[in-house]
Amino acid sequence: MQHKTLLARPLARRGRRTLGAAAAALALAALAACSAPAASSSGGDSGEIILGRSMDVSTLDPERSLCDSCQIYNAAVYDTLLAATTADGDLQPLLAQTWEANDDNTEFTFHLDPAAVFSDGSPVEAKDVKWSFERLANLKGDPSYFMAGVKTVAAPDAATVVVTTQAPNSAFFNVVTAGYTGIINSDVAIENGATADKDAAKTDKAEQWFLKNSAGAGQYVLTSYEEGSQLVLSENENYWGDDKPNFKKVVIKDVPDASTQLQQLQQGDIDVAMQLSFDTLDQVEGDESLTSEVVPTYNYVYLGISPGAADAPKALDDQRVREALRKAIDYDTVIDATVAGKGSKQASAIPNGFEGSDGLEVPDYDPEGAKALLAEAGVSNLKLEATYPTFTIYGVNFSTMFQSIQQSMKKAGIELTLNPLDYTAWGTKFGAGELPLTAVYFAPDHPDAVQYFQYFSLAKDASWLGYSGMTENTKETKGVAKALTQTGDARTATYSELGQDMIDDAIILPVVNPQVILASGSNVSGNNYHVTRNIDLRQLKFTD
């Protein structure tokens, strides 16, 4: 016992000292907590703008990337040959000062702006364009389809690029407005492990370098990227264009939760909140320190039907049954339930506002009409399983959407069971074409509607021809080929015809074309939704 007492004293003192130190630390912490957090200096003063969004960056190598956040990054850092305007996607010069196509739209010539330089001051030359396009194709990464159909890329001189395609492609000028086709400083990239060779998919080693560095001719350069935290861009001091960057620094903070985005916007911790949910709209509009606007987008969520899936009910082979499903969706209720009514119905896979969408008839909820079609097809007690990923995209929660659809289909005599899966499990089945009925989303890559036929139609090589398990619709194959030989009104008419063909296929049933809240601090102007950039940083400005 005596031994214990002797030992206990120093230990007890040490314990008191430890506790004392810890208590002091706690007191200090409490002091820090009680003192108001460091007041955010106005972004206008510092030239630093902070955007809050749920980041979905897949990579910062522009030729491997494919995501909404990548669109912002690529456009800011890697200037493209041409640019599309925010409002209508009209073509504007960027690295290419002038451009022209041959008569049959198989040869596209770009004349580079002699003033264009990369961020290291070296000139943007035709060899860089050739190298970038070839790498984009040969990497076989996610955005490699932008180069589909390109036969050769030639650089006859330092300022001229000639692209030839295997078949007419009047959409090509639109394609090269997408940030994924941004031009990379080939010398710098090659030095750091990049290659454009045929075997680039196996031999290119530059992806990790691109996560920490950039080599573009855009307004900004990459300063740092911390996955799950933030992406920091700095002004490109060598920017060659007349429109100099509006900010010294652009920070895109990863704020996954929409309500946290609002809180941070209200507290001045971010200047722009990109993904607010519509249930907070009253709060946003009622806050005098904020500026907000609700605008339409080209994004949409759709139901995709795969009659060829192994477990698909035989009834789905019948077009009338698929048409009945279209009529059995109460679109207005779904739009109310998912985006508080801030969305539109959409006729076909061509989003509202894109070339060819005008004049196509938007669907209406018609349970009686659905019943009649099912009866005509000799189908009764139709039972379907909807398998979908459990996430929210463009404000649309897929579970909420399907619960609403389930109710509306019930009135048409269709029994829908819901099978929500996590994204990877869903993606595995979707990629394998195993889902008779699912929901997916789509945002445009570039301002040309041809992308919708190349992805959603039943034309040869279209993605959904594979997913749906249907046979090729040769009329659509010919229609797409024909459209790509055309320009102007003739092409618009062909696009519209193809849109109607896709409606008649009844494979893709667009459900909601959501709007978006553009919310920012009141000292920010020019907040926007851009067709290929998601948000165009060139238009954003501080007013103070």
Partner 1 sequence: MLRYTLKRLAIMPLLLWGIVTIAFFLSHSISSNPLASIVGTRNLGNADVVAAATQRWGLDKSLLQQYLIYIGNLLHGDLGTSFRTKEPVASDLSSRLPATLELALFALIIAVVLGIVLGVVAARNNGRVLDGGLRTLALVGSSTPVFWVALLLLFVFYARLGIAAGPGRLSSRVDPPPYVTGMYTLDSLLAGNLPLFTDALSHLILPSIVMALPLLGTIIRMVRAQVLEEQSSDFVRTARAKGMTPSQVMNRHVVKNAITPVITVVGISVGMLIMGAVMVETIFTWNGIGTYAVEASRSLDFPAITGVCLVGGVIFLVSNLVTDIAYAIIDPRVRL
- When asked if residue 430 is in the footprint of partner 1 (CB under 8 A), the reply is yes
Contact between 310 and partner 1 (CB under 8 A)?
no
CB of 316 to partner 1, least distance (A): 18
Applying the rule CB under 8 A, the residues between 34 and 73 that interact with partner 1 are 34-38, 40-41, 43, 46, 48, 50, 58-59, 66-67
Closest CA to 514 of 331, 391, 377: 331
Closest CB 224 distance from partner 1, rounded Å: 10
Q: Which stretch binds partner 1 (CB under 8 A): 151-159, 168-176, 359-367, 422-430?
A: 422-430
Question: Which residue of 122, 160, 263, 485 would you call a contact of partner 1, by CB under 8 A?
Answer: 263
One DSSP character per residue, 348-387 reads: SSSPTTSTT-TTPPPP---HHHHHHHHHHTT--SEEEEEE
Residue 471 sits in the site that holds partner 1 (CB under 8 A): no
Q: Which stretch binds partner 1 (CB under 8 A): 97-105, 150-158, 223-231, 531-539?
A: 223-231
Q: Which of 187, 269, 336, 366 contacts partner 1 by CB under 8 A? A: 269
| 135-165 as b/e: b if 16+ CB within 10 A | bbbbbebbbbbbbebbeebebeeebbbbbbb
Candidate segments 12-20, 294-302, 330-338, 531-539, binder of partner 1 by CB under 8 A: 12-20
- For β-strands 272-273 and 230-235, DSSP reports them as unpaired
Is there binding between residue 380 and partner 1 (CB under 8 A)?
no
AA identity, residue 527: N
Q: Which of residues 176-215 bind partner 1 (CB under 8 A)?
A: 201-202, 207-208, 211
Separation in Å, CA 92 to CA 352, 354, 444: 22, 18, 18
Report, in Å, the least distance between residue 233 CB and partner 1. 14
- Contact call for residue 228 and partner 1 (CB under 8 A): yes
Yes or no: say if 361 and 323 are a contact pair by the CB < 8 Å rule: no
Contact between 247 and partner 1 per CB under 8 A: no
Choice from 146, 239, 452, 467 touching partner 1 (CB under 8 A): 467
Kindly state whether residue 300 participates in binding partner 1, applying the rule CB under 8 A: no
Work out whether strand 91-93 and strand 82-84 pair parallel, antiparallel, or are unpaired.
Answer: antiparallel
Cα separation of 53 and 67, whole Å? 13
Burial 509-534 (b: 16+ CB within 10 A, else e): bbbbbbbbbbbbbebbebbbbbbbbb
Site for partner 1 in 121-150 (CB under 8 A): 139-142, 144-145
Question: Facing residues of 250 across strands?
Answer: 49, 233
Q: Which stretch binds partner 1 (CB under 8 A): 7-15, 92-100, 118-126, 326-334?
A: 7-15
* DSSP character string of 147-169: GTTEEEEEEEETTEEEEEESS--
